[in-house]
């Protein structure tokens, strides 16, 4: 199975900051990398698929990049509603494993 | 409106069985791959099982292989997860999920809670 490793596990930032979360796959997954946002009590929300394609309705402050084994999620100008937990997921081969998550907290 | 509504969760003893159901509406169910994703208390998301649109292909995480079976009934727009030989580590909220581009998940159900305990 492909292992997904996110870093950092947690992150403190302020409104208006720019933050970057990284995700590394244990083997090449091309661009089969997705990013999700999870808030307490709510279903996860798809932000980005295919490494860099923004899901419809997601603010352009979110962006994704990378291919192969190394990927990043960047959030520009953090808004209060962006504080949540973020997960990467590989969909290159089953099982479609998730990273362990990155909890983004308000500083 | 696209909706996924899970049911069938509950309290079960170790070694017991449960069958989860997911009723889909608002989209052409038979045109999409589907999956189950769970989140144990205090843990992250774990992809559990996936099934192709026709049901011909199924996939399971190693942690549930041989114990869980995913299936679907396209005539009823319903996804299932048969869970046997349940263990304490299977305690989690189980979400039904709709496949999208690049096998991402664009719609999630709110989940049904499974508690395995004596």
Q: How do residues B37-86 score in pLDDT, each as one tens digit?
A: 999 999 999 999 999 999 999 999 999 999 999 999 999 999 999 999 99
A40 touching chain B per CB within 8 A: no
Closest chain B residue to A35, measured at CA:
B104
Alpha-carbon span B24 to A13, nearest angstrom: 38
Closest chain B residue to A87, measured at CA:
B45
Alpha-carbon span A14 to A35, nearest angstrom: 21
Closest CA to B72 of B21, B8, B112: B21
Residues of B in contact with A99 (CB under 8 A): 44
Contact A46, A56 (CB under 8 A): no
Rounded to a whole number of angstroms, the distance from the CA of A93 to the nearest CA of chain B is 10
Tell me what the pLDDT averaged over chain A comes to.
Answer: 97
pLDDT at residue A72 in the model: 98
Closest chain A residue to B52, measured at CA:
A94
Residues of A in contact with B103 (CB under 8 A): 32, 91, 96
């Amino acid at each position: 199975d492909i292992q997904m490793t996110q870093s950092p596990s947690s992150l403190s930032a302020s409104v208006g900051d720019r933050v970057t979360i990284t995700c590394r796959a244990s083997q090449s997954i091309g661009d089969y990398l997705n990013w999700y946002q999870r808030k307490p009590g709510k279903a996860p929300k798809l932000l980005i698929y295919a490494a860099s394609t923004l899901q419809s309705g997601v603010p352009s402050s979110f962006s994704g990049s990378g291919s192969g084994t190394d990927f990043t999620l960047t959030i520009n100008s953090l808004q209060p509603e962006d504080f949540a937990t973020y997960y990467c997921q590989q969909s290159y081969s089953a099982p479609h494993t998730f990273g362990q998550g990155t909890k983004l907290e308000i500083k | 409106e696209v909706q996924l509504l899970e049911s069938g969760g509950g309290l079960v003893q170790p070694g017991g069985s449960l069958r989860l159901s997911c009723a889909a509406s608002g989209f052409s169910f038979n045109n999409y791959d589907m999956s189950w994703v769970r989140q144990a208390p205090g843990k992250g998301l774990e992809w559990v099982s996936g099934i192709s649109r026709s049901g011909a292909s199924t996939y399971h995480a190693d942690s549930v292989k041989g114990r869980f079976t995913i299936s679907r009934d396209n005539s009823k727009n319903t996804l299932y997860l048969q869970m046997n030989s349940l263990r304490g580590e299977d305690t989690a909220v189980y979400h039904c999920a709709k496949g999208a581009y690049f096998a991402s998940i664009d719609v999630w159900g709110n989940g049904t809670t499974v508690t395995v305990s004596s």
